[in-house]
Amino acid sequence: MTESLKSLLVHQAASVAFKPPDLDAIAHGNRRRVRRRRAVTVLAAAAAVAIVASAVVALSSLDNRRPDVVGPLPTGAVSWAMGSTIHNGPDTIEVGHTVRAYVRTTVGFVTVDEADNVYSVTDRGVQQIGRAAAVPKDGREFVRLFSDPRGTLAGWVGTGPSEQTGLAMLVHDQATGQTRTFEAGGSGGAVFFAIDDRTAYWRATPDRVVAVDVDTGDERQLAGADVAGNFAILSVENGVLAFSRNYQPFGNVTSLRVGRSIDAAREFTFGENAEADDAMRLSPSGAWLSYLWFQFDGPPQHDKVLAITAQVRDTGTGELVSLNVPPGGLSVPIIWLDDTTLQVLAIGAVPGQVATQAHLYACRVPDGTCAVAVDLPAAALDGNALVLPTGRSVSE
């Protein structure tokens, strides 16, 4: 070898191309959004812990399998997926395609594969029910699925019945097997927010956030043109909405309101120099709110992450509930299994050390007790194969 270290560095640095810095963003001081989103992304990757390359290779060979007879249905058990297998409590379900993201309903699961195909997984088998459209976020594109785990509907942003119709909101009822298509228009991008029982929440056009009765098609406007751009619904359960009026697409949530209507909602704050990830969830009754909380070391010019904590709040009183997961690691709230039980991913790592184990816990509120529900293999901490029932892909 004749390469010196110096020439290697020079050659390597010259071998890649860079986009010029965004002067407009610099002028507006947008670094906080970029960096803090980056911090979340890194941690979200950890939250979406996955399995070693060898396991990925082994599992990829399963992709051509035919689906098993689908037996067990969601029962509120702790759930996770890897490759083409969904684990639901003690049961495993082979769905015949790589599960990129999935959600649960009372009837089964709805999944999306690597090609954006959407499937319904029920005791009637696995059936493709549509295609999801990737939507831009943080300079990348993602697909998301939505459902009410206590209902039978699942939804996603997809394409309409023809190429000309563009994006559409699609809602599938696993109880009937029917899919309804709601047209989305405008150039601002369609955003699906949530499903609560028979009501879906979305911004189909840039100037309106609406609640739609999926059965009748009746719409109720929640935000108009003056505020719709930064209005985001983060979770809806039992008619209780968690929403933000100043949501920034590249940032975390800095303020939040929870209530049964937009005008009569309680405001929650996260403390000085603190923010929350936007993947927050209300419990089925709306009594509790779970989210991942970030504490930074100061205002925007200082953005070292001091603490990251899984938090649960009583939405009636605002009081925090402490979850008794092992200290020193990273714990991420995933989904409510029932109104007082939260599925939590805990990664056993301490600052400066490599994480060596991950578990799925079932944590109960308000006492905060947690019990290990699933031991994920140590190898799960490499890669991006583990998928959790949030409707989001691991890479997001």
Partner 1 sequence: MASQNWATFVEFVAARSSALQRAAYLMVGDVGLAQDLVQEALVKTCGAWSRLRDPGAAEAYTRKVIATTAMGWFRRRAWSAERSSGQPPDRPAPGHADGVTDRAWLWQCLLQLPPRQRVAIVLRYYEDLSEAQTAEAMSCAVGTVKSQVAAGLAKLRALVGDELLLPPETHEVVTS
For partner 1, give the closer residue by CB, 18 or 216: 18
Q: 352 exposed, middle or buried (CB, 10 Å; 0-12, 13-18, 19+)?
A: exposed
Q: Can you tell me which residue has the tokens 């901490």?
A: 381
- 3-class SS at 163? helix
Q: Which residue has the tokens 């083409």?
A: 84
For position 305 contacting partner 1 by CB under 8 A, the verdict is yes
- Looking at residues 127 to 156 of the shown chain, list those that interact with partner 1 (rule: CB under 8 A): none
Nearer to partner 1, 16 or 264 (CB): 16
Residue (250 or 314) nearer to partner 1, CB: 250
150 closest CA partner among 238, 70, 234: 238
- Single-letter code of the amino acid located at 201: Y
Reduced to 3 states, what is the DSSP secondary structure of residue 164? helix
| Closer residue to partner 1 in complex, CB, 10/372 | 10
DSSP, residue by residue, 228-293: GGG-EEEEEETTEEEEESS--TTS-B-EEEEESSSSSEEEEE--TTEEE-S--EE-TTSSEEEEEE
The count of C-alpha atoms lying within 13 angstroms of the C-alpha of 185, restricted to the half-sphere facing its C-beta, is 3
Site string for partner 1, 42-61 (x = CB under 8 A): xx-xx--x------------
Residue 133 or 347: the one with the smaller Cβ distance to partner 1 is 347
Site residue total, partner 1 (CB under 8 A):
50
In the complex with partner 1, the residue whose CB is nearer, 112 or 376, is 376
Looking at residues 9 to 38 of the shown chain, list those that interact with partner 1 (rule: CB under 8 A): 9-14, 16-23, 25-27, 29-31, 34-35, 38
Residue 250: CB minimum distance to partner 1, A: 11
Output the smallest distance, CB 360 to partner 1, in A: 15
d(CA 17, CA 1): 26
CB of 137 to partner 1, least distance (A): 15
From 2-10, 64-72, 217-225, 316-324, give the range in contact with partner 1 by CB under 8 A. Answer: 2-10
Question: Is residue 381 part of the contact set for partner 1 (CB under 8 A)?
Answer: yes
Instruction: Establish if 304 lies at the interface with partner 1 (CB under 8 A).
Output: yes
Cis amide prior to 72 (ω within 30 degrees): no
CB neighbourhood size of 337 (10 A): 25
**Cβ closest to partner 1, residue 23 vs residue 69:** 23
Q: How far is the CB of 168 from partner 1 (least distance, A)?
A: 31
Nearer to partner 1, 301 or 317 (CB): 301
Q: Compute and round to an integer the Cα radius of gyration of the chain.
A: 21
Cβ atoms of 172 and 178 within 8 Å: the answer is yes
Kindly tell me which of 38 and 260 has the beta carbon lying closer to partner 1.
38
Near partner 1 by CB under 8 A: residue from 175, 349, 377, 379: 349
Residue 31 and residue 21 in contact, taking contact as beta carbons nearer than 8 Å: no
Considering only the stretches 61-69, 154-162, 273-281, 351-359, report the one whose residues sit in contact with partner 1 under the rule CB under 8 A.
351-359
Residue type, 196: D
Q: How far is the CB of 275 from partner 1 (least distance, A)?
A: 15
Stretch that binds partner 1, among 177-185, 272-280, 284-292, 350-358 (CB under 8 A): 350-358
How far, CA to CA in Å, does 19 sit from each of 16, 22, 115, 192, 278? Answer: 10, 8, 28, 31, 28
- What token pair was written down for 156? 């996603």
- With tokens 């991950």, the residue in question is 358
Pull the structure tokens for residue 383.
Answer: 């890669």
Nearer to partner 1, 112 or 292 (CB): 292
Return the residues of window 228-247 that contact partner 1 according to CB under 8 A.
Answer: none
What track of x and - describes contact with partner 1 for positions 259 through 298 (by CB under 8 A)? ----------------------------------------
Do residues 116 and 131 lie in contact, with contact meaning Cβ atoms separated by under 8 Å? yes
Could you list the residues that contact partner 1 (CB under 8 A)? Answer: 1-6, 8-14, 16-23, 25-27, 29-31, 34-35, 38-39, 42-43, 45-46, 49, 301, 304-305, 330, 347, 349-355, 381-382
